[in-house]
Amino acid sequence: MIVTLTANPSIDRTVVLPGNDGDPLLTALSEHRIEHVTVAMSGAARTNITITEPDGTTTKINEPGVSMSAASLAALQSEIIERGSRAEWVVLSGSLPPGIPTDWYATLVEALRASSCRVAVDTSDAPLLALADRFPAAAPDLVKPNSEELAQLTGADGQLLEESALRGDPTATAHAGRQLVDRGVEAVLATLGAAGAVLVTEAGAWWATPPPIVARSTVGAGDSSLAGYLTAHISGAPPADCLRSAVAYGSAAAALPGTTLPTPEHVDLDAVTVTALSSPAPDPA
């Protein structure tokens, strides 16, 4: 079982049908038979707008979300820790709403490490930096940064990481990922857009490149990559195959319009090329 925490949910696309006066987000979860638990908030879920231009340029307009009270925060934290104790993976993803301490993900990771579950974190900016400030105690089992977020964590040049990989050299990304492994993170899944993704663990590093696609929307591509990785991991796949699944799902998402998420029917694992890299040497102490 995988438990996901969305502390700051958003509605990227909503279709309200006649006679449906319920919360569209909860209705969608129920329709897809996804088990879910909610913590009451004082307002509606935020709405995010993504504008995709014909040349692939994407502009995101994200609302900050509803402020969370101390009581709601305590209830949410209790819920995720209780359910996490029965899960294989807990995913902490997205931004944090107003009113939540920026180091809350770090607090959750430390609390969840007392149970048998694994923890994946996919966030950015202040919550990501606050998490890193509490490594190794709050080092998760998996972090999934894009090139910009990996740069935030390591001081690397995010644009250079992606451009180098597009030219066929993912070495800089592997070395940046190794810095996080040296600080206690078990695995780093660095997504690089059209250049694929790099996976770094204590055992080694791998680079996966996607098949040629016509990118229609990048919305949800990173989330789909993480879902692909975890789906393979809980089935017992080795690291290289987990990476293959991540890139297959991410590229499938990018080839679909709007906020459409890929299903297994959209995914072609055999079209993804995985290359073992020379294991990045640990940084000198």
Q: What is the tens place of the pLDDT at every residue in 136-147?
A: 999 999 999 999
Instruction: Domain count for the chain, please give it.
Output: 1
Q: Rounded to whole angstroms, how far apart are CA atoms 69 and 95?
A: 16
Containing H/E element for 201?
strand 197-201
Q: Rounded to whole angstroms, how far apart are CA atoms 119 and 90?
A: 5
Q: Rounded to whole angstroms, how far apart are CA atoms 149 and 140?
A: 16
Average pLDDT for 89-118:
93
Q: Are the C-beta atoms of residues 191 and 229 closer than 8 Å to each other?
A: no
Question: Is 103 a domain residue?
Answer: no
Among residues 103, 122, 223, 241, the one annotated as catalytic is 223
User: Of 205, 185, 218, 187, whose CA–CA distance to 60 is shortest?
Assistant: 218
Q: Rounded to whole angstroms, how far apart are CA atoms 152 and 165?
A: 18
Query: Does residue 55 have a pLDDT over 70?
Result: no
Q: What is the CATH number of the domain that holds 204?
A: 3.40.1190.20
Question: Is 272 a domain residue?
Answer: yes
- What pLDDT score does 18 carry? 33
Question: Is 238 a domain residue?
Answer: yes
Question: Is 79 a domain residue?
Answer: no
pLDDT band at residue 261 using 50, 70 and 90 as cut-offs: confident
Q: Rounded to whole angstroms, how far apart are CA atoms 73 and 99?
A: 9
Backbone region of residue 56 per phi and psi (left: phi > 0; alpha: psi in -120 to 50; beta: other values): left
Q: Rounded to whole angstroms, how far apart are CA atoms 216 and 171?
A: 28
Question: Is 233 a domain residue?
Answer: yes
Q: Are the C-beta atoms of residues 131 and 92 closer than 8 Å to each other?
A: no
- Active site includes 241? no
Question: Is 147 a domain residue?
Answer: yes
The DSSP code sequence of 165-184 is HHTT--HHHHHHHHHHHHTT
Residue 118: φ, ψ to 5°: -95, 155
pLDDT band at residue 43 using 50, 70 and 90 as cut-offs: low
Which domain, by its residues, includes 186?
A: 141-285
Which tokens in the block code for residue 157? 């040049």
How does pLDDT run across 123-168, given as a tens digit for each residue? 999 999 999 999 999 999 999 999 999 999 999 999 999 999 999 9
> Taking the mean position of all CA atoms in its chain, how far away is CA 137?
20
Determine how β-strand 197-201 pairs with β-strand 187-191: antiparallel
Cβ-based neighbours of 142, under 8 Å, separated by 6 or more: 118, 119, 120, 121, 185, 186, 187, 188, 189, 229
pTM above 0.85, yes or no: no
Which tokens in the block code for residue 115? 């149970």
In DSSP terms, 48 is beta-bridged to 62
Three-state secondary-structure class, residue 11: strand
Question: Is 188 a domain residue?
Answer: yes
Question: Is 277 a domain residue?
Answer: yes
